[in-house]
Amino acid sequence: MTSSPPSAAADRERLSAWASELRAVHERLRAALRAARESSSSATADPDAPARELLLYCHGFCAALDGHHRAEDRRLFPAVEDAHPELAPILRTLEQDHSMIAHLLAGLRNAVDRAAGPVELRRHLEGIAAIMESHFRYEEKMLLTVLETLQLDAPADEVLGPL
């Protein structure tokens, strides 16, 4: 018994899944950052509660964002460059952004680990938010169309991180 080839619609859905998945990953990371920012400015009767919440959110958010960028650098960008070598300069710019964001995340982790005050924590989060959003918008602008045609057989968590 042989299986029939996938329909054109199923094939198109598989191909466009990378673009959809990238959008979804970015939105989950944006939501995680919003939660971290909200926890950094929440005031409760327990003055240590916001710091504990931020510690939790920071470690989760930082790990997720870092994992996303490492997966892109390791799996997604080489696949894009193989299919579209003309995009190499764009991919190098995105990789530089990843390095800059990793540096900012390390600063936030350090601030959280040493129980920095809310003003400093918000400053770190605002800086990450600005660079991250700029990076995501540029990445989406430059790569979504390409991702709609990218043929890459790999699990999504290997290509875009474990989100």
- Tell me what pLDDT residue 28 has: 87
Q: Which of 66, 75, 64 is nearest to 153 (CA)?
A: 75
Burial string for 81-109 (b: 16+ CB within 10 Å, else e) reads: eeeeeebeebbeebeebbeebeebbebbb
Instruction: Name the average pLDDT for the chain.
Output: 80
Q: How confident is the model at residue 163 (pLDDT cuts 50, 70, 90)?
A: low
Give this prediction's pTM. Answer: 0.78
- Express each pLDDT in 130-156 by its tens digit: 999 999 999 999 998 998 888 877 777
Q: What is the DSSP string of 51-81?
A: HHHHHHHHHHHHHHHHHHHHHIIIIIHHHHH
